[in-house]
A and B are shown apart, each in its own frame.
Chain A
Amino acid sequence: MTAVQERPGAEIGRDRRRKEDQRLITGRTRWTDNLQLPGMLHLAMIRSPFAHATIASIDKSEAEKATNVVAVFTAADLGESLGACINAWAITTDQVTPAHPPMPADRVTFAGEIVAVVVARSAAEARDAAELVDVEYDELPAALDLKEAAEATPENGGALAHPDLGTNKSALWTFDSAEAGTGGNVDEAIEKARTDGILIEREYRQQRLIPAFMEPRSVVVDPTGEQITMWSATQIPHILRFALAATTGVPESKIRVIAPDVGGGFGGKLQQTPEEMIAFAVARRLGKPVKYTETRSESLMSGHHGRDQWQRLTLAATKDGTVTGLKVDLLADLGSYVAIVGGGVPVLGAFMFNAIYKFPAYRFNCQTVLTNKTWTDAYRGAGRPEATYAIERLMNELAAEVGVDPLAVREKNWIKHEEFPFTTVAGLEYDSGNYEAATAKARELFGYDELRAEQRRRRESGDPVQLGIGVSTFTEMCGLAPSRVLGQLNYGAGGWEHAEVRMLPTGKVEVVTGASAHGQGHETAFSQIVADRLGVAFEDVEILHGDTQISHKGLDTYGSRSLVVGGEALVKAVDKVIEKAKPIAAHLLEASVDDLEFTGGRFSVRGTDQGMAIGEIATAAFAAHNLPDGVEPSIDSEATYDPVNFNYPHGTHLCAMEVDTETGALKMRKYVCVDDIGNIINPLIVAGQVHGGLVQGIAQALWEEAVYDESGTLVSGSFVDYLLPTAADTISFDVDHTTSPSTTNTLGTKGVGEAGTIASTPAVVNAVVDAVRHLGVNDIQMPCTPERVWKAINGAHGGGHADTEGAAAPHFDASTGMEGTVDRTTGGADA
């Protein structure tokens, strides 16, 4: 590992203002919806109002006659050319995976599913004509409640999301540390704790959330050239091209996918969407360019959702608060189909329930379940926020039980910094970390002791406004990770990334990355890496991405992988450039290769003032007038890097929350976080990522929830009902860092994109509960609305355990939906 400080280069570690911003602040951005191609047609989707119904008939005759309507297509019209939406992650070999047609022919399985498409000369005319399409449905019973869906069988008459499958159970994934040899037997730990220790049993609900990126999804398909070109507001141009080829039979070489500027994703644009498939098929059929841009309501209804789990947890500990075992039973709602990586998301969390702790025994059962709701998939953090929430809430319960400070119980159980690298009970090897340092720094910044003193004062005086202090320590696995390991998890792709460094004849540099950005500032951060490593000016580096023609290879952007995997690929490509340039430099300088050293962008002959800049060598290689024999006239290089391990950022987050016990109103007073993400390339960008992540996590704790009514209609189907926080709802944060460089990549960096979201949700809920624990409250269902807080305080249960709406659902029985085998599907759509 190279320590960053050793390099004299001034770029890495510097608050560089972003290259991207010039176009974004002047309105010159290339959003997909800005594209206007000659002769372009526009699509409007007709979507099912029912959660589950058979399509009795579709009468499109009126719509076809409307002004400027070119065609109206149903599944029957487009037939085979529609292809299928890809599922890339069967987490078990017998996962039940219903076939996922972009536009079903006979049965809809969620409200918002597309049944027909209108093609017209303008978007407004397409929308108008869509009103004229008459679709008759026969409604079917819908599987909507997650627990009921898990229990439904043909015999008990429960509603099945796909009646032909005979079950709503998709896959059962289990891990047991005793069987895996990574730890002890959790049942024994629980039995022991029951008689002579502490047993904490809780059930937590991870409500359904919506990624709600600000740029609605948009797709343009132009079939008029040599290739079919698709512009899409997607996170995954490379995977999308592969998926289109694999599911439509059009050769990959005939498809070009461009992700121009993309306005946010958070996992929500990690999909081969039905809309993209339909646009692709319509463009091919008509031979004309087409565009489809969703409305916000369509986006909320039919873009994938996240979270949506029931977690049942049993934590065993000794009386002094040392954890001896953890058992987790999880029900995860996949919605009506298994989305591209949706089946694997809860399992990513499985590895993270033990968090930063040295738990000696662990068992995890995860049952994924199909329902008649929009499908779920990755949403910022993907599996890790759910796990972190559960364990950080439990650690607070344990502290309360033992009667110690929540930080003390963490300290008793966490991995000490001298113990790294550390293999966890879930079998992961944590690269580096220092939980003591991050916690100490956060405590100080926060003024922990003073705030605890204020909390005591308020309690003693019976102040109607109580103060809660929320603690959350976290780690996560990011930069998914050795392809071999992903293969063992049945994941359909690898974890590598690709980079290319092109040395232009003038000495400037073009860099190509397969990690395509949607707001993360790759153009800036990657330029900083190249500038330092290659010794060229920041301004002389241009980063190209998001176009499969230019960057022919890549695995795109999700899971905090860009810098730790894509950045490392870049480092390797730069190093190859230097290696290739060396013999040319030696030749031109008339020196031996062994006498050359490369620093600050120059090769120099040791002990002399002779030297040449890398740019000059690029020029010489281009001219090729005087190269050593047998050396190719190019120093361009590329590298594909497969990470040796995940990496594990961590941090300590502290939140102070005022709770008005008379109204249930909450007011956040202070939020401090100290994250350790290893070495930092651009502190400004990192702070921005943390701020945005924090608000997304806080929003889960306090405001956001995708709510369906009993008929399966998404009630929170617009920004009027789906409450994204505003500037007025949030506060400014105190963000700081400690540094434990990652030992698994040259730059020593760790991912940061999801950290804020993962850690903040439990910090906030812990703060809310902490404020009113002395009133007998030990849980409040998310989102913690004033009404729920008020009800918890004035519990229908007369204090004690404050059950809220969530727990009013049918009681979760560990034996239900958690055992037994799963039938293999007949109509699998795996590809």
Chain B
Amino acid sequence: MTRISLTVDGASVSDDVEPRMLLVHYLREKLGKTGTVIGCDTSNCGACTVHLNGTSVKSCNVLAVQADGAEVTTIEGLARDGELHPVQEAFRECHGLQCGFCTPGMIMQSVALLQENPKPSEEEIRLGLEGNLCRCTGYHNIVRAVQHASGQAETAGATS
């Protein structure tokens, strides 16, 4: 067991964890932060994406001990004071989700993408989301959502 201390969604936490425990399991099982989900066992799907010190990571690819001293933001910490993050709003506005399983990871990745590049082109959005799989939306409306959040698309056209 190793002692770790970190900040998760604004709250500081300390725990003894097994050295092999993955961050995603720590978040889900120890902290009950089930908003972050697991979609694969090969780090391919991106469903588990969170922010570690402000950068997006696949939390199934990070050991909990590696997050010692870090600041972690999950989908559950994205809304502030009951106000949805603009990217969360954009996903709803543009119907960028169906079953919603990929959504926490997609939103976290999109937030990170826009931090780096506030006005991405469609191509840049598509490349930026390459590590996150979605089986429902065909990505069309996810791309729209990111464009919308970046102020580059007025509405989600149902017919385009």
Contact = CB atoms under 8 A, between A and B. Distances in A.
A102 interface: no
Nearest to A22: B92
B155 to A, nearest CB: 9
Interface stretch (A504-512, A636-644, A680-688): A680-688
B98 A296 contact: no
A79 to B, nearest CB: 32
A264 B107 CA distance: 18
A519 B99 contact: yes
Contacts of B84: 25-26
B125 interface: yes
Contact of A264 (B36, B99, B126, B129): B99
B158 A683 contact: yes
Contacts of A726: 126, 129-133, 139
B39 A518 contact: no
B99 A688 contact: no
Contacts of B54: none
Given A719-B45, A730-B138, A21 B40 contact: no
Given A264-B101, A727-B143, A728-B127, A685 B95 contact: yes
A214 B101 contact: yes
B74 interface: yes
A718 B127 CA distance: 22
A719 B134 CA distance: 12
A296 B40 contact: yes
A728 B109 CA distance: 14
B137 A691 contact: yes
A724 B135 contact: yes
Interface stretch (A277-285, A389-397, A732-740): A732-740
B136 A27 contact: no
Most B C-beta atoms less than 10 A away, residue of A18, A23, A297, A732? A732
Contacts of A688: 95, 98, 136-137, 141
Contact of B100 (A29, A693, A719): A29
B92 A17 contact: yes
B138 A733 contact: yes
Contact of A695 (B34, B47, B127, B139): B139
Interface in A545-584: none
A224 interface: no
A521 B98 contact: yes
Contacts of A736: 159
A716 interface: no
A737 B88 contact: no
Contacts, number: 190
A686 B139 CA distance: 15
Interface residues of B, number: 61
Contacts of A297: 41-42
B67 interface: no
A216 B132 CA distance: 15
Nearest to B47: A214
Contact of A687 (B32, B34, B95): B95
Nearest to B41: A295
29 contacts: A18-B92, A24-B97, A25-B97, A26-B75, A27-B76, A33-B38, A124-B25, A214-B45, A214-B133, A215-B99, A264-B101, A295-B41, A296-B45, A519-B98, A688-B136, A692-B98, A692-B137, A696-B135, A719-B44, A719-B45, A724-B133, A727-B132, A727-B142, A728-B130, A732-B140, A732-B160, A733-B140, A735-B159, A736-B159
Given A684-B156, A719-B133, A732-B122, 6 more contacts: A29-B34, A296-B41, A519-B136, A691-B140, A719-B44, A724-B135
Interface of B: 25, 28, 32-42, 44-45, 47, 74-76, 78-79, 84, 88, 91-93, 95, 97-104, 107, 122, 125-127, 129-144, 156-160
- What are the 9 tightest A-B residue pairs by CB atom distance, in nearest-first order? A27-B35, A519-B99, A24-B100, A263-B101, A691-B138, A695-B138, A27-B75, A719-B44, A683-B158
